[in-house]
């Protein structure tokens, strides 16, 4: 019983040390939609949406992009994202930036004439990094314009 308690405490301490308490300057993130339902003629059903993220490493240490978890926030708009994780191994050197693009799975309503076909889509992204100082994450919520008027931001 005592050994089980010691093992549980050790696991808890390890979990805390690998959390998001890394002493590092967090990167600046810019998240955009590059391709969506309009570029696919508002086809209904399963689609893929292309996103881009610019990661600006402001720290003096290299950081590595490990994972991005995406999900839609709210209802409405031309598509709903499937909550999913996307894995990477992209190193961003100190005082540099990297542009990363990827495709995410979504379900589209399919009616380009519907009122909500051009409504913005709100996406929540949790971006996980690793650095010499430990692991950390940034959370962002981005409203993505579907009309092209706002440049996707």
Ordered by start, the domain boundaries in the chain are 25-144
CATH code: domain 25-144 is: 2.60.40.10
Given a contact cutoff of 8 angstroms between Cβ atoms, the answer to whether 55 and 26 are in contact is no
Rounded average pLDDT over 18-37: 84
Q: Is the pLDDT of residue 76 over 50?
A: yes
Decide if pLDDT at 77 tops 60. yes
pLDDT tier, 47 (very low <50, low <70, confident <90, very high otherwise): very high
* pTM (predicted TM-score): 0.78
What's the pLDDT at 20? 55
Beta bridge partners of 102: 51
pLDDT at residue 19, rounded to an integer? 42
Phi then psi dihedrals of residue 12, to 5 deg: -65, -45
Q: What is the pLDDT of residue 115?
A: 65
Sequence-separated (6 or more) residues with CB below 8 Å from residue 93? 57, 62
- The residue among 95 and 112 whose pLDDT is bigger is 95
Angle at CA 101, nearest 5°, toward 95 and 106?
140
């Amino acid at each position: 019983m005592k050994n089980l308690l010691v093992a549980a405490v050790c696991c808890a301490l390890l979990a805390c040390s690998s959390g998001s308490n890394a002493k590092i300057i967090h990167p600046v993130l810019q998240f955009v939609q590059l391709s969506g339902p309009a570029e696919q003629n508002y086809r209904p059903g399963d689609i893929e949406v292309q996103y881009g993220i610019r990661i600006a490493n402001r720290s003096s240490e290299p950081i590595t992009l490990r994972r991005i978890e995406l999900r839609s926030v709210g209802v409405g708009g031309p598509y709903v994202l499937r909550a999913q994780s996307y894995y990477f191994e992209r190193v961003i050197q100190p005082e540099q930036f990297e542009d990363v693009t990827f495709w995410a799975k979504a379900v589209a309503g399919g009616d380009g004439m519907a009122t909500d076909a051009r409504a913005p889509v709100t996406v929540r992204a949790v971006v996980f990094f690793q650095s010499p100082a430990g692991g950390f994450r940034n959370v962002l919520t981005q409203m993505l314009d579907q009309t092209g008027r706002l440049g996707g931001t």
